[in-house]
Amino acid sequence: MRTLPYYLLLMLVGSIIVLSCDPDSPEPPNEEELITTLIYTLSPDDGGDDVEFVFRDLDGDGGVSPIVTTAPLQASTTYSGTITLSNETESPVEDITEEIREEDEEHQFFFASSLDDVTVAYGDADSDSNPIGLVTTLTTGDAGMGTLRITLKHEPEKSATGVSTGDITNAGGETDIEVTFNLDVQ
């Protein structure tokens, strides 16, 4: 019976604690790994205006739907392509491309076009002479409509069959980016 007052006291203290204090306001975390924006810039080798493919999702997974913009490409043309990645929720805007370049052995982009005569060749390599895909050459053929899928893999097995030539089948790893753009070759 001696313990009863202590018990009641404890319950009273507990009630006061919980009813008087709600959880502290949590500080929304900085989503450091977030990639909000991918820009694939294509410059025609024989001069002319740059073309930009842009995927932008400013609030990350969920929330408002991402905005995807593309522009037409010229038929039978060779373009120099560069990919830039950024996190635009940070200020100043965080350049994720730099992070990929620092860990180039652990990353690789893959390009898959539904148009057979649109091809993408790697223009860069990591220290093991395996491709990365931040710098590419895109070549178009005849006019047509289709799609181009760009995938960024983290920790792919670059030495697996076909991976260094851009075949994603045996790459493994996990996908950091997978975006699909509409292709309009005129």
**Binding residues for other proteins, per CB under 8 A?**
1, 3-4, 7, 10-11, 14-15, 17-19, 21-33, 35-36, 38, 55, 57-66, 89, 99-100, 102-103, 151, 154-155, 157, 169, 172-179
CA distance 103 to 123: 17
Nearer to other proteins, 23 or 47 (CB): 23
Nearer to other proteins, 48 or 172 (CB): 172
CA Rg, the chain, in Å? 25
Plot region of 159 (φ>0 → left; ψ -120 to 50 → alpha; else → beta): alpha
Nearer to other proteins, 28 or 47 (CB): 28
* Sheet-wide strand order for 174-185: 107-113, 144-154, 174-185
For residue 99, give both structure tokens.
């992070």
Q: Least distance to other proteins from the beta carbon of 116, Å?
A: 21
Nearer to other proteins, 47 or 63 (CB): 63
